[in-house]
Amino acid sequence: MSAIRLSFETFPPKHATGHGKYLEMLNTFQKYSPMFQSMTYGAGASDRSRSEQLVAKSAQSIGGRQFVPHLAGGGQDKERIKALVSEWWDNDVRHIVALRGDEAGKGEIKCAADVVATIREVNSFEISVAGYPEIHPKSASQEAELTHLKSKVEAGASRVLTQFFFDADVFLKYRDKCDALGMDVKIVPGILPISSLVQVQRFAKQCAATVPDFIIDRFSGLEDQPEATAAVAVTTVVELVERLNKEGVKDFHLYTLNNVPRTLAICHSLGIYPEQKLAA
C-alpha cells in the first residue's frame, strides 16, 4: 500500500443535467480512498447557486465527511455564510475549504480570514485555506502573503492547500518559511497535471505562478498529441510527488480538472489502487 495520500479537487457541472455524471465521478474517485474530495465554488451569483445546490447531493453520495465544499465568501454577509454552513453541517459536512474568492458583493466579509472566523462561529468544522508558494497575484510580496496566510491560520484554519507549482524546491522553501513563522498546520502541495502547455501557461499567468523551462521543453511539440501529452503529464506528476515524498511530504491535493482517466493513471502509478484490489 502506498504511503502517499491524495485528496481530489473537482469542479461542478454547468447544468443540473450533469449532476448524475458528476456524482458518478466522485464515486469512482472514492474507490481510491482519498483523504477527501473537494468541489470548487464559483464567484458569480449563478455559479455560487450551482455549487451550493450540489453540496447536499454530493455529501449524500460519498458521505458528508468525505465531501468538502469550497466556500468563496468575499463580499458576502456573515449571516448568510452562517446559515449556509449550518445547512452543510446538517448534511454531515465537517470540512470546508475557506476562500475569499472574487468579491461579488458588499457584505461584511472582506478576506479569507473573515470567512474562516465566521465558519468557526457556527461549529467545529475542519477548515482548509489556500496558500501560494510563489506569490498571490494581488499581494505586494511573498512576505505580505505569508502574513495574510498566518492570519487565516490564527483565525482557525487547520490545513493549507497550495496553488500549483512545478519545481519541488519552490514548495520546500515555502514550507520552511511557513514553519519559521510558527504555522503549526499541514502545508499540502497542490498538484496540477498538464492538459496542454498553452493552457497551463495561461493558468500560471493568471495566478502569478512559474512554468519552468524544463516543463516547457518537456511539453513543447505535443500540442496536437493529446495522448502523448497525457502520458507525459502523468510521468511529470509522479516525478514531482515522489521527489516531495522523499522530503517527508505525505499528503497531496490533486487538481483533477474532472479528468477521470488521467487521475486514475496517476493513482496507479503512485501505487494507490481501488479498494476492491486491496481487499483481494
| The pLDDT value given to residue 54 | 92
Helix (H) or strand (E) holding 167: none
Per residue in 42-91, pLDDT (tens digit) is 544 555 666 677 999 999 999 999 999 999 988 889 999 999 999 999 99
Catalytic residues: 9
Are residues 1 and 217 in contact, defined by beta-carbon separation less than 8 angstroms?
no
Closest by Cα among 80, 143, 157, 77 to 112: 157
Amino acid (1-letter code) at residue 77: D
Residue 19 has pLDDT above 90, yes or no: yes
Spatial separation of the C-alpha atoms in residues 67 and 69, rounded to whole Å: 7
CA distances from 277 to 142, 173, 250, 251, 280 (A): 44, 37, 22, 22, 5
Per residue in 156-191, pLDDT (tens digit) is 999 999 999 999 999 999 999 999 999 999 999 999
Name the more confident of 136 and 54.
54
6 DSSP β-pair partners: 252
Residue-range domain boundaries for the chain: 5-279
Q: How confident is the model at residue 141 (pLDDT cuts 50, 70, 90)?
A: confident
Are residues 158 and 183 in contact, defined by beta-carbon separation less than 8 angstroms?
no
| The pLDDT value given to residue 170 | 97
Per residue in 221-274, pLDDT (tens digit) is 999 999 999 999 999 999 999 999 999 999 999 999 999 999 999 999 999 999
Q: What percent of the chain has pLDDT over 70?
A: 93
pTM value is 0.94
Mean per-residue pLDDT, 201-213 = 93
The class level of CATH for 5-279 reads alpha beta
191 DSSP β-pair partners: 254
Q: How confident is the model at residue 123 (pLDDT cuts 50, 70, 90)?
A: very high
Are residues 5 and 35 in contact, defined by beta-carbon separation less than 8 angstroms?
yes
| Residues in CB range of 25: below 8 A, 6 or more apart | 10, 258, 260
| The pLDDT value given to residue 280 | 42
Are residues 73 and 98 in contact, defined by beta-carbon separation less than 8 angstroms?
yes
| Residues in CB range of 211: below 8 A, 6 or more apart | 166, 197, 200, 201, 204
Mean per-residue pLDDT, 25-43 = 92
Spatial separation of the C-alpha atoms in residues 73 and 42, rounded to whole Å: 10
52 by DSSP, 3-state: which?
helix
CA distances from 207 to 164, 204, 210, 248 (A): 9, 5, 9, 27
Range name among 33-47, 70-84, 111-125 with the lowest pLDDT average: 33-47
Helix (H) or strand (E) holding 63: none
